[in-house]
Amino acid sequence: MGMAGNVSLYRKGINEFFLSHGLPRAHEELEAVRSQLEKIQMYEVCRAALIEAEALVRRGPEHDEQAVELLLQAGGELAHASGSFDRLQRRFRAANDANKTD
């Protein structure tokens, strides 16, 4: 999702277009993959996290941490639901096994 990092960058003034351009683009990208997310029952989870995080960021910097946590949680759930977390774990295990010396 990459959106969590953008919250911090926005507050630091590095990503000043986060609210005006970044979030609308995130909504567009979410809609572009809607059918794939719906297949793994993650569309509503991702959409809700994005909407709630946006509302929190707009409320002020004291809500940024909660917004970041929501986005990271949704990203983690997506990684598990899509199978990418398991695939990555298998790759790491294989690489570690290959690097072990007896």
Residue range 2-46, pLDDT digits in tens: 788 899 889 888 888 899 999 999 999 999 999 999 999 999 999
* Mutual angle of helices 23-32 and 43-59, in 10-degree steps: 180
CB 8 within 8 A of CB 68: yes
Q: Rounded mean pLDDT of 48-62?
A: 95
Q: How many domains does the chain have?
A: 1
| 72-93 pLDDT tens trace | 999 999 999 998 878 878 888 8
Largest CA distance in the chain: 57
pLDDT number for residue 101: 61
Q: Which domain, by its residues, includes 43?
A: 3-99
* Residue 102 pLDDT exceeds 60: no
